[in-house]
């Protein structure tokens, strides 16, 4: 086989594998997808990183999800809790970050969220005014989402931390670690 023919064939094979993989990650696969539909949660494909990092990393049976920021229908959910956002606004932003975590997790699980055994840890960062003290209630937006999906295995060891700013001015950023089969 000529070198050019070989690389052309290899390129087509890689393209076909990519298309098959992206279809697999978008398909419904089972019990968790049914639960998401019941909850009215639409999980979109994993967003590409906006800086020098990866969206997720598997180490053994653990999946580490990079910090996910909240997206609303009009784009990024920006603001400072206790200044121009309420705790309820922050809760909704953290829920959105949790849904973005699910997109990354689904990619890491080859489209099958039924592989998730449990959520190990959640770390939530909340863009907060100096006197705002309800970070724990904001990050409940992510914690309660995972609990509603997986039950007790969705509850995780957790930190909810206030900070004076976050990248792009977003209201929160949430990281997570999951155990998968």
- Domains, the chain, ranges and CATH? 29-180 (3.30.1330.40)
Q: Give residue-wise pLDDT tens across range 59-104.
A: 999 999 999 999 999 999 999 999 999 999 999 999 999 999 999 9
**Spatial CB neighbours of 141, under 8 Å, sequence gap ≥ 6:** 90, 91, 92, 93, 94, 95, 96, 97, 98
- Evaluate if pTM is beyond 0.85: no
Distance of CA 50 to the CA centre of its chain: 14
What beta strand segments (E) does the chain contain?
A: 56-59, 62-68, 71-72, 75-76, 116-127, 157-163, 172-180
pLDDT digits (tens, 9 = 90+) for 31-53: 999 999 999 999 999 988 889 99
Token pair, residue 46, equals 């994993």
């Amino acid at each position: 086989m000529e070198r050019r023919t070989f690389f052309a064939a290899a390129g087509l094979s890689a393209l076909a594998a990519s298309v098959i993989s992206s279809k697999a990650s978008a398909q419904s696969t089972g019990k968790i997808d049914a639960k998401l539909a019941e909850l009215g949660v639409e999980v979109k494909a994993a967003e590409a990183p906006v800086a020098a990092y990866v969206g997720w990393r598997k180490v053994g049976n653990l999946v580490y999800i990079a910090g996910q920021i909240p997206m609303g229908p009009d784009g990024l959910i920006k603001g400072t809790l206790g200044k121009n956002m309420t705790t309820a606004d922050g809760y909704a932003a953290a829920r959105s970050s949790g849904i973005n975590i699910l997109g990354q997790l689904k990619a890491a699980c080859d489209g099958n969220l039924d592989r998730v055994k449990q959520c190990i840890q959640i770390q939530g960062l909340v863009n907060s005014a100096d006197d705002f003290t309800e970070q724990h209630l904001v990050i409940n937006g992510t914690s309660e989402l995972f609990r509603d999906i997986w039950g007790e295995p969705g509850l995780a060891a957790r930190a909810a931390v206030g900070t004076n700013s976050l990248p792009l001015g977003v209201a929160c950023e949430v990281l997570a670690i999951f155990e998968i089969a």
